[in-house]
Amino acid sequence: MSVPSRFSRREMFLKIAMLFNGIVGVLLGIPIVGYLLTPVIKGRKPGYERWISLGPIDQFPSGQTRLATYHNPVTRAWDGETADIPCWVRHTDGDHFQVFAINCAHLGCPVRWFSQSGLFMCPCHGGAYYADGARASGPPERGLFEYPFKILDGNLHIQAGEMPTPGLSAGNCTKRPPCA
Amino acid sequence: MRLMQRVGSWLDERLQLGRPIRETMEHPIPRETASWFYVFGSAAMTVFGLQLVTGVLLALIYVPSAGEAWNSLQILNTQVTLGWFIRALHGWGSNFMLAIVLIHMVQVFLFGAYKFPRELTWTIGIFLLLMTLGMAFTGQVLRFDQDAYWGLGIGASIASRVPVLGPGLVSLVLGGPIIAGATLSRFFALHVFVVPGLLMLFVGLHLLLVLKLGINEWPMPGRLVRRSDYVEKYHAMTRTEGVPFVPYGVWKDAVFSGVILLCIAVCALYFGPFGPSGQPDPRVIQTAPRPDFFFLWLYALLSLLPPVLETPVLLIGPAIGLMVLLALPFFSGEGEKSWKRRPIAVLAILLVAVALGTFTSLASDAPWSPVMDAGTGTPVPSHYLSGRTPLEIQGALVFQSKQCHNCHAIGEGGGKRGPALDVVAVRLTGDQLVRQVLQGGGNMPAYGKNLSPAQTTALVAFLETLHPAGQAPAQDASRAAGMQP
């Protein structure tokens, strides 16, 4: 009769041990998952976006569209050249600007400006946009991503910091659509 | 000799691996399976071994930092003794591994090897295929050049389209707000630790199942698989007609693996390493990113799908494909194995092969991409200009300066995004040309805002000259009728 009772005692110990390990596993799992999800959580909380200067507005003559670059506000020391992000600045007139993301609204390839034909063209899948960023043709479902801008002390500032992607377009749009 | 025997038996007393190894070597296989058709699995494993070795060798030099990765690859290519060769072996090994895995899968499918009782072997094989593709993609990222940089942008853009979770997924994939150091580090961890570890585990399971369940017998038309008696019949067959795996089956495996390794080495020597292409500097936008060979079909698909269908196809298509592959052995686990009596199976393979082949060959030409420098770099052929009026020649200039040539071919050069214009005047009248240029339509942007009336007149005058010598340009029939007295 002693065998079954000894068995159940050991079984109980085993179950306690498993339960104990399970609890320890969960306790360890929480920080691990937290660590893994940092880019997501941090991105949502303080946000990655900052106001960044693109330099004096006289760099961008009225009626022209020019390439500008900015240093991404959130970077690490070993990011190298990848921290320098280009964007297209269109100075329509006076204080009116449009600042477009370099990324095609289709799948993120770098669009190029062709001033003579007044088009942005994408080298990857053939998307094309008009001078004001509106979709002209090809696979994109929308116009170019646009950064909110403001002018402070004669400098053009944009709100940027996160690579715009088609699914990310909602939320941070303070200006007229379409916007990043 | 005696010393070696003593060391051997000392080890075996402790490890006790001698017997299982001997049993594995001597296990009987159906005689017909000692065939050249059964060599692909072992060859894939051999190439995986090569990838492990060359991968470790590359990791001795490679720096997984966004600022230094590209430089370290240049140093591997040019300064480290035979660094270029190891890179080339690893790159070509990757292509060969994917090709062999695909061939292996097709062979297994056509020979009905996924049927009872080998369903789990097939399922694990599907995961091995996914991991091999994952290795190819993450490997392409580690070659941190322009193609890798913008390829990551494409990956992130696709991920962003997942409903609700999209933005979070993008941050998770990139490891931060932009493609940068954190992105490369996580792809390094995936390519070097996570996926290879899983691959080794799954290859082990895959092999274990092949040994436990026995290699698939040569399919004979009419010999049906039934769950009730298959295992019994299989063992009866291997007992009576079987031959030991070593040496009957294994010598062909060994020869083929050797040939493949040699082919990889020859390709590596002759063609050299892949890239890296330009530096991963987002400011250098004069680039036309292209994926590696095995993802070209996807590049074509992304260009050719109608915009409305793109997101559903991208997000749901792979899930359906995966489910079909995983469900296959459970829906068709019994019955005929021979491809000679499975016409739908053969047609399915042909369909997939033709589709992938067509997309791949289209992608190597990429007619949907504008030729970005045609406006400045590709002249209008002189025979389209000789004997023309000043207005028409002015139109040819407008054609070049307004980058029409980027999307429209004339003669040999130019883009293929829009139709070639060599005989456009036969298709469209002058009025129709004006309308098309100013208003666009049919996937052409409208140029109304960017052409002065004089430029439009000149351009259309030039376009109206584009018809074969013996063929009249298109006429507006109604106008011609209206002119009648």
8 Å CB contact of A139 and B440 = no
- Predicted pLDDT at A173: 42
Chain B CB contacts of A40 under 8 Å are: 168, 171-172
Tokens of B168: 């979070």
Residues in A 107-136 with any Cβ partner in B closer than 8 A: 107-112, 114, 116-119, 121, 123-126, 128, 130-131, 136
Q: In this structure, is the dihedral angle defined by the CA atoms of residues B40, B45, B51 and B54, taken in order, positive or negative?
A: negative
The average pLDDT across B282-291 equals 89
Q: pLDDT class for A178, splitting at 50, 70, 90? A: very low
pLDDT at A169 over 70: no
- Predicted pLDDT at B94: 97
> Which one has a higher pLDDT value, B422 or B259?
B259
| A107: nearest CB among B66, B302, B443 | B302
Residue A96's H or E segment, with its range, is strand A96-101
Q: In this structure, is the dihedral angle defined by the CA atoms of residues B191, B193, B198 and B203, taken in order, positive or negative?
A: positive
Total H helices, total E strands in chain B: 22, 2
pLDDT at B457 over 70: yes
- Predicted pLDDT at B316: 92
The chain-wide mean pLDDT, for chain A, equals: 86
Distance from CA of A149 to the nearest CA of B (A): 19
Residues in A 133-172 with any Cβ partner in B closer than 8 A: 136-141, 161-163, 165-168
Burial class (CB in 10 A: 0-12, 13-18, 19+), B306: exposed
Q: pLDDT class for A5, splitting at 50, 70, 90? A: low
pLDDT at B360 over 80: yes
pLDDT at B448 over 70: yes
pTM: 0.90
The average pLDDT across B117-126 equals 96
What is the C-alpha to C-alpha distance for residues B190 and B139, in angstroms, rounded to an integer?
9
pLDDT at B292 over 80: yes
pLDDT in tens, A116-143: 888 999 988 889 999 999 999 888 989 9
The average pLDDT across A40-51 equals 77
The average pLDDT across B453-466 equals 91
Instruction: Give the list of residues 6+ apart from residue B326 with CB closer than 8 angstroms, or none.
Output: B123, B126
Q: Strand A96-101 to strand A146-147: parallel, antiparallel, or no bridges (unpaired)? A: antiparallel
pLDDT in tens, B151-175: 999 999 999 999 888 888 999 999 9
8 Å CB contact of A44 and B168 = yes
pLDDT in tens, B196-215: 999 999 999 999 999 999 99
> Which of B70, B169, B450 has the highest number of chain A CBs within 10 A, making it the mutation to test binding with A?
B450
Q: pLDDT class for B372, splitting at 50, 70, 90? A: confident
- Predicted pLDDT at A108: 92
What is the C-alpha to C-alpha distance for residues A174 and A99, in angstroms, rounded to an integer?
13
SS (H, E, C) A132-178: CCCEEECCCCCCCCEECEEEECCEEEEEECCCCCHHHCCCCCCCCCC
- Predicted pLDDT at A171: 38
Distance from CA of B32 to the nearest CA of A (A): 49
Tokens of B349: 């393979």
| A75: nearest CB among B180, B444, B446 | B180
- Predicted pLDDT at B371: 87
- Predicted pLDDT at A172: 40
8 Å CB contact of B154 and A108 = yes
pLDDT at A45 over 70: no
Widest pairwise Cα distance in chain B: 117
What is the C-alpha to C-alpha distance for residues B48 and B131, in angstroms, rounded to an integer?
12
- Predicted pLDDT at B473: 84
The average pLDDT across B135-157 equals 94
pLDDT at A175 over 60: no
| A116: nearest CB among B401, B444, B446 | B401
Chain A CB contacts of B286 under 8 Å are: 112
Does B281 contact A at CB distance below 8 Å? Answer: yes
- Long-range pairs, B286-289, Cβ under 8 A, ≥24: B286/A112, B286/B372, B287/A110, B287/A123, B287/B146, B287/B150, B288/A123, B288/A124, B288/B369, B288/B372, B289/A109, B289/A123, B289/A124, B289/B146, B289/B147, B289/B149, B289/B150, B289/B151, B289/B154
What is the C-alpha to C-alpha distance for residues A10 and A12, in angstroms, rounded to an integer?
5
What is the separation of C-alpha B49 from the centre of its chain, rounded to a whole number of angstroms? 22
| A126: nearest CB among B154, B369, B402 | B369
8 Å CB contact of B181 and A78 = yes
Distance from CA of A172 to the nearest CA of B (A): 12
Distance from CA of B368 to the nearest CA of A (A): 5
Tokens of B45: 């494993």
- Predicted pLDDT at B167: 86
Q: Strand A128-130 to strand A119-121: parallel, antiparallel, or no bridges (unpaired)? A: antiparallel
Distance from CA of A2 to the nearest CA of B (A): 37
- Predicted pLDDT at B124: 97
pLDDT at A2 over 60: no
Helix/strand/coil for A34? helix
The chain-wide mean pLDDT, for chain B, equals: 92
Tokens of B430: 């002058």
pLDDT at B434 over 60: yes
Tokens of B326: 């995983």
CA-based nearest residue to B139, from B89, B105, B68: B89
What is the C-alpha to C-alpha distance for residues B94 and B227, in angstroms, rounded to an integer?
38
DSSP letter for B335, please. B
- Predicted pLDDT at A155: 93
> Which one has a higher pLDDT value, A47 or B268?
B268
pLDDT in tens, B298-308: 999 988 888 88
What is the C-alpha to C-alpha distance for residues A144 and A132, in angstroms, rounded to an integer?
9
Q: pLDDT class for B468, splitting at 50, 70, 90? A: confident
What is the C-alpha to C-alpha distance for residues B404 and A119, in angstroms, rounded to an integer?
11
- Predicted pLDDT at B166: 87
CA atoms within 13 A on the CB side of A97: 26
Does A103 contact B at CB distance below 8 Å? Answer: yes
pLDDT at B283 over 70: yes
- Predicted pLDDT at B484: 59
Does B177 contact A at CB distance below 8 Å? Answer: yes
What is the C-alpha to C-alpha distance for residues A163 and B264, in angstroms, rounded to an integer?
39
The average pLDDT across B66-89 equals 96
Does B279 contact A at CB distance below 8 Å? Answer: yes
pLDDT in tens, A48-98: 888 999 999 999 999 999 999 999 998 899 999 999 999 999 999 888 999
pLDDT at A46 over 60: yes
8 Å CB contact of A80 and B154 = no
- Predicted pLDDT at B480: 66
Q: Any idea what the Cα angle at residue B330 is, between residues B328 and B333, rounded to 5°?
A: 90
Chain A CB contacts of B436 under 8 Å are: none
- Long-range pairs, A41-44, Cβ under 8 A, ≥24: A43/A162, A43/B167, A43/B168, A43/B171, A43/B176, A43/B177, A44/B168
- Predicted pLDDT at B273: 96
The average pLDDT across B110-114 equals 95
Does B419 contact A at CB distance below 8 Å? Answer: no
> Which of B169, B170, B408 has the highest number of chain A CBs within 10 A, making it the mutation to test binding with A?
B170
pLDDT at A43 over 70: no
What is the C-alpha to C-alpha distance for residues A108 and B150, in angstroms, rounded to an integer?
7
